[in-house]
Amino acid sequence: MHATLPLLSTTTFPALARRSVEVLQVNLGYRCNQSCLHCHVNAGPQRREEMTAETVDAVLAFVSASPEVKALDLTGGAPELNPHFRRLAVAGRQRGLRVIDRCNLTILEEPGHEDLADFLAAHRIEIVASLPCYIEDNVDQQRGKGSFAGSIRGLQRLNALGYGAAGSGLQLNLVFNPQGPTLPPPQAALAAAYREHLGREFGIVFNQLFTLANMPIQRFGSVLVSRGQFNGYLQLLRAAHREENVEQVMCRNLLSVDWQGYLYDCDFNQQLGLPISRSGTCRWHISEINAAALEGRAIRVAEHCYGCTAGQGSSCGGALGDEPVAAPTCGT
């Protein structure tokens, strides 16, 4: 049972307007083979929500009608557990899009997915892989016992296929999340620490490290409430807000689609039930609009938005700026 989250609302976060949609981020469902403490989706093995074939077709029709879209960002849960994941990924590549798989790495060893790594490499799909620390105990505490070892085996398998190697064109990026209610350390310094440790201990190479702040919503928000840390974490995010990060927040050119096909300004708004408003309480469905019609619309903001602008900033592509907020370690 998760603690009840306070209502997240604010009138103090700066007003934002959408730009051209360049990235279509598609949540294929909330089912996952893991139940991570920092998960803002509350994904897990018991979830059953997943995108249907008809909604996948609507996503592809939207892409065809929206030449502005350059990247298809597939997420979940574990997006690969959706039976239509591979069809959508291949169709995106056939349309000339960058296709990104937000992979938890341990999925590569799940029964029925033994050929997943080969599939991703064959279609030159970019991988953004969650590895919240390079220390085994920290990862297992955050993601479950044995998840670190499984992640390392997954990375080594991807490296063997050419992922992360210079000149291969197979992009492998890692994602760091803090262990608790703190801001991420500086991205460049932490990336160097990841490279040194993973290279020395396991022979692993990768392209970039993205540092993401934890959002006070869903499972992570519930943990904060249960520990009496929720309000303190919100105060930390507000106090660390940097106005210069507002210009680069991801919701300006990213569109989030939930498993039912409804549209949101970002994945965090999706989890809070804050859709892009049509009129009154009506929601936009991806089958009813194209990207051009969304340009210039107001973005729905709330208190969690400070998580994207605090310190060095945070987005699906990592830090937005430079901010020496802590020593370069993943142990916090």
- Span between the terminal Cα atoms of the chain, in Å: 26
Angle (nearest 5°) at CA 129 between 263 and 142 = 95
**Is there a domain that residue 128 lies in?**
yes
- Picking from 36, 35, 57, 61, the residue whose alpha carbon sits closest to that of residue 46 is 35
- Picking from 80, 83, 64, the residue whose alpha carbon sits closest to that of residue 24 is 64
**Is there a domain that residue 332 lies in?**
no
Residue 3 has pLDDT above 60, yes or no: no
**Is there a domain that residue 315 lies in?**
no
**Is there a domain that residue 143 lies in?**
yes
Q: CATH no. for residue 212?
A: 3.20.20.70
Greatest alpha-carbon span in the chain: 56
- What is the model's pLDDT at position 271? 86
Mean pLDDT taken over the chain: 88
**Is there a domain that residue 325 lies in?**
no
Q: How far apart are CA 56 and CA 54, in angstroms?
A: 5
DSSP assignment string, 160-182: HTTTT-TTS---EEEEE--SSSS
Q: Please name the helix (run of DSSP H) or strand (run of DSSP E) that holds residue 71, with its range, or none.
A: strand 71-75
**Is there a domain that residue 261 lies in?**
yes
- What is the model's pLDDT at position 44? 75
- What is the model's pLDDT at position 60? 98
Phi, psi (degrees; rounded to nearest 5) at 264: -140, 160
- What is the model's pLDDT at position 38? 57
- What is the model's pLDDT at position 325? 45
* DSSP character at residue 263: E
Q: Express each pLDDT in 23-74 by its tens digit.
A: 999 999 999 877 666 566 666 778 889 999 999 999 999 999 999 999 999 9
Give every CB contact of residue 99 below 8 A, 6+ residues apart in sequence. Answer: 71, 72, 74, 89, 92, 93, 123, 125, 126
Owning domain of residue 170: 23-309
Q: What three-state secondary structure class fits 262?
A: strand
Give the residue, 36 or 6, on which the prediction is more confident.
36
Q: How far apart are CA 54 and CA 212, in angstroms?
A: 32
Q: How far apart are CA 120 and CA 102, in angstroms?
A: 12
Q: Express each pLDDT in 140-168 by its tens digit.
A: 777 777 789 999 999 999 999 999 999 99
Percent of the chain at pLDDT > 70 equals 89
Tokens, residue 82: 């959706």
- What is the model's pLDDT at position 326? 47
- What is the model's pLDDT at position 286? 97
What's the total number of domains in the chain? 1
**Is there a domain that residue 323 lies in?**
no
Give the residue, 76 or 295, on which the prediction is more confident.
295
Q: Express each pLDDT in 91-143 by its tens digit.
A: 999 999 999 999 999 999 999 999 999 999 999 999 999 898 888 888 877 77
**Is there a domain that residue 15 lies in?**
no
Q: How far apart are CA 326 and CA 275, in angstroms?
A: 35
- What is the model's pLDDT at position 1? 40
